[in-house]
Amino acid sequence: MAKIIVVTSGKGGVGKTTTSASLAIGFANRGFKTAVIDFDIGLRNLDLIMGCERRVVYDFVNVIRKEATLNQALIKDKHNKDLSILPASQTRDKDALTTEGVGEVLEELSKTFDYIVCDSPAGIERGAQLAMYYADHAVVVTNPEVSSVRDSDRMLGLLSSKTKRSEEGRDPIKEHLLLTRYCPKRVTRGDMLSLADVNEILAIPLLGVIPESQAVLRASNSGTPVILDQESDAGQAYQDAISRFLGEDVPFRFIEEEKANWLKRMFRFKEKEATA
């Protein structure tokens, strides 16, 4: 039976789609058959980040309305044969999704895939609630700022009360915190919340800390998930998050300000002297 993971947040623009794409390809690169679904009906950004926007013929809504089969709508990822993408529609609204229709799609996917990643729209409206309704795990994505953390706390309330698991009295959804756009220097200056602050407010297990990085923007613009950029700190941080999700004991990186050692300082001083 597939594990269904919703990637969610209360606020937009925190990195949910980047996270969904990176988690999905991270699982696939570990040998797990993985599907990732774009629940953001009307906007549709996942296919851009995955670099498959020109291959979209049918979408999630077409499948729910029986206008196409699931096999027709799924797009094979160009980086990994074990990963498939189910894009959202750009021409419908979120009312096109139904609880029963989403359930049928997830049930069919569960017969073939090990992991199903649901890229949720921001906020608490219908699309977001349907994305989380059938989930087994929730990755709550937040930035280290008060409004983002507050909205994520609101999402934790919905995860505990507005899901199929809560309705049926089963074990609750397993919650994981992913902190994005983290910059230790700005924390030191008091410009953003610290990791300890966010942990204290949300109080759920920490899955990963993704540093503020230009690599994320470059990856999005090139249609390549940042997790594939193994030279970047953001790509490495997403790899670490995958390892932790799979139960591996991996230390956290990129959470403290890097201090130049005396040798580096000496070389920098020499360079300044040479150019003076």
Please tell me the predicted confidence (pLDDT) of residue 262. 47
Please tell me the predicted confidence (pLDDT) of residue 273. 57
Q: Answer for the pair 58, 105: CB distance below 8 angstroms, yes or no.
A: no
Q: What does the pLDDT look like over 91-121, one tens digit per residue?
A: 777 678 999 999 999 999 999 999 999 999 9
Task: With a cut of 70, list the residues of the chain below it in pLDDT.
Answer: 94, 259-276
Q: What does the pLDDT look like over 36-80, one tens digit per residue?
A: 999 999 888 999 999 999 999 999 999 999 999 999 999 999 889
Please tell me the predicted confidence (pLDDT) of residue 93. 72
Amino acid at site 112 = T
Q: Answer for the pair 27, 114: CB distance below 8 angstroms, yes or no.
A: yes
Q: Answer for the pair 228, 235: CB distance below 8 angstroms, yes or no.
A: yes
267: exposed, middle or buried (Cβ count in 10 Å: 0-12, 13-18, 19+): exposed
Which ranges in the chain belong to alpha helices (H)?
16-29, 46-49, 60-64, 70-73, 99-110, 126-133, 146-159, 164-168, 184-189, 195-202, 214-222, 233-245, 262-275
Cα–Cα distance for residue pair 186/243, rounded to 1 Å: 27
Token pair of 7 as six digits = 């990637």
Amino acid at site 115 = Y
